[in-house]
Structure 1
């Protein structure tokens, strides 16, 4: 069964064939899904000092230019047999507009170019990618590069460190989403688990405690057993199951780079307090993992 029937693409406002557009077109072609392309614009802060007449003119010029470009892209895609539509929209609240579009369209997948934001700017303003990650219920595909229009290698990053029904359910949803994506692209599917010293044990230790070889073997053994069960259930061969020691973001980034993974599939949760500032593992992965990301909200 085709998992994708409606694809929503947030286009690069620079009006060019970006990695996200390349990926969206390829997915629409392989899945026969309806593709809706949207260009979102807003008035730059430097122009907000203009009077209302000049602001209106700038808005109308932007909308006309982008709609013309989108219409040209639609003609090209329609000639290839892709069911496509497009619209240029002006909004001062892009995150709310993205969420509204995804809900109204009942999109199965939201596709967007990954935007890099410097650390200083991230400390002052929450990046749009982070906002959408935290709020969007639709699977979100943030595309960094599209060396292969349809990915060839997909890895599901899962958490097997604990025996918890809720975490198990999240793992299964991540793998299901990764499997659907891989099948649609005819890509290889891998499973990846990064593990570290059990924080619950170290937190209650009276002093510094070394993570002994026995502890490592116990932790990795439990994770390996759980991964084997999941691999058997989802048809992932053993040589595509990877258990690596180290911090999750670092392990995922290194593995994705060394193994040339096209897409990393991860779960995302909203965090408050300090982790809201620092970002979740998925949020941090946006700036460290070279691959594109498919984020699944539990």
Structure 2
């Protein structure tokens, strides 16, 4: 992630503590970035009022937008002296994630900040949460905010896949570490580099009598350790600050973050979509409900969002 100069913070009236706004203001205070507070409003009943003309329906929509703009201006007023630029933006749109992404594409925002919460499994199966849409499709970095504070000398966890030989993953690993170091300097925090490796294949031990699961595990672990230390050396990270953990990434990252009481997790998301997204999801999506700290998700270089400006 390049330096943060323009922040788009997604405002949700249900977020009474204004977690996302406070986080965006705190970042802007440290970076000098401008902040746009974005609110998408929509009322389906306005579209279904057949007794009114198109002009009357448009007037009702404008009135609602103006009303919410005034509300948002009042919300932002206490923060006006904390950042150089903070402005409200309210739009009528029935798909908030799409509206946010279009803003990012059109105005080149560096970071989207949004409060997140626990997602119902049943609702997630039927309706993909806005958070997940942003993780998969937003072309810029996405910071999903939870309750955890950002204390001085806290811990930032940078999660990488150190053994991948694909250039996309190598670039993403480098971006994750450099971004984590950037956030480390802003937050005056400690940085831990985390790499997960798979456990032993128990089924192979059953099917192949001569298979030695202990030797296999040690070989896999050593391979991951060697690869992780190469990244650590390249970014001047002490070996003592490298963590090698066995297990699935979504489980291992969550466990390590909770054990370290991390304030921020920085990781990459490949933007999986379609059937693979529905069946597999992404690591960032799976761990959101398992941690109480913020998650900063980065996209690979050159990522193209499936959302376009002319799409309705």
TM-score bin (small chain): 0.7 to 0.9
- Structure 1 stretches lacking a partner, 5+ long: none
Structure 1 distance, partners of 2:11, 2:136, is 20
Aligned to 2:133: 131
Aligned length: 294
| Structure 1 length-normalised TM | 0.87
Aligned to 2:10: 10
Aligned to 2:231: 230
| Structure 2 length-normalised TM | 0.83
Structure 2 distance, partners of 1:17, 1:185, is 21
Q: Please list the CA deviations of residues 169-213 of structure 1 after superposition, one character each: whole Å capped at 9, or x if unmatched.
A: 2211211222222222222211111111477x978x992676622
CA contact (8 A) 2:196 2:247 kept: yes
- Structure 2 stretches lacking a partner, 5+ long: 301-312
Q: Please list the CA deviations of residues 25-55 of structure 1 after superposition, one character each: whole Å capped at 9, or x if unmatched.
A: 1001111111111111122x57766556597
Aligned to 2:306: none
2:262 is paired with a residue whose SS is: coil
CA contact (8 A) 2:117 2:289 kept: no
| 1:152 and 2:157 aligned | no
Q: Please list the CA deviations of residues 96-117 of structure 1 after superposition, one character each: whole Å capped at 9, or x if unmatched.
A: 2111111222111111111433
Q: How does 1:51-66 map to 2 (within 5 A)?
A: 51=50, 53=52, 59-60=61-62, 62-66=64-68
Match for 2:283 among 281, 284, 297? 281
Aligned to 1:97: 99
Aligned to 1:26: 26
CA contact (8 A) 1:22 1:149 kept: no
Structure 1 distance, partners of 2:108, 2:74, is 25
1:166: how far off?
3.6
1:296: how far off?
0.6
Aligned to 1:187: 189
CA contact (8 A) 1:110 1:141 kept: yes
CA gap 1:207/1:12 in 2 versus in 1, 3 angstroms: same
Q: How does 1:218-297 map to 2 (within 5 A)?
A: 218-271=219-272, 272-297=274-299
Structure 1 distance, partners of 2:190, 2:242, is 12
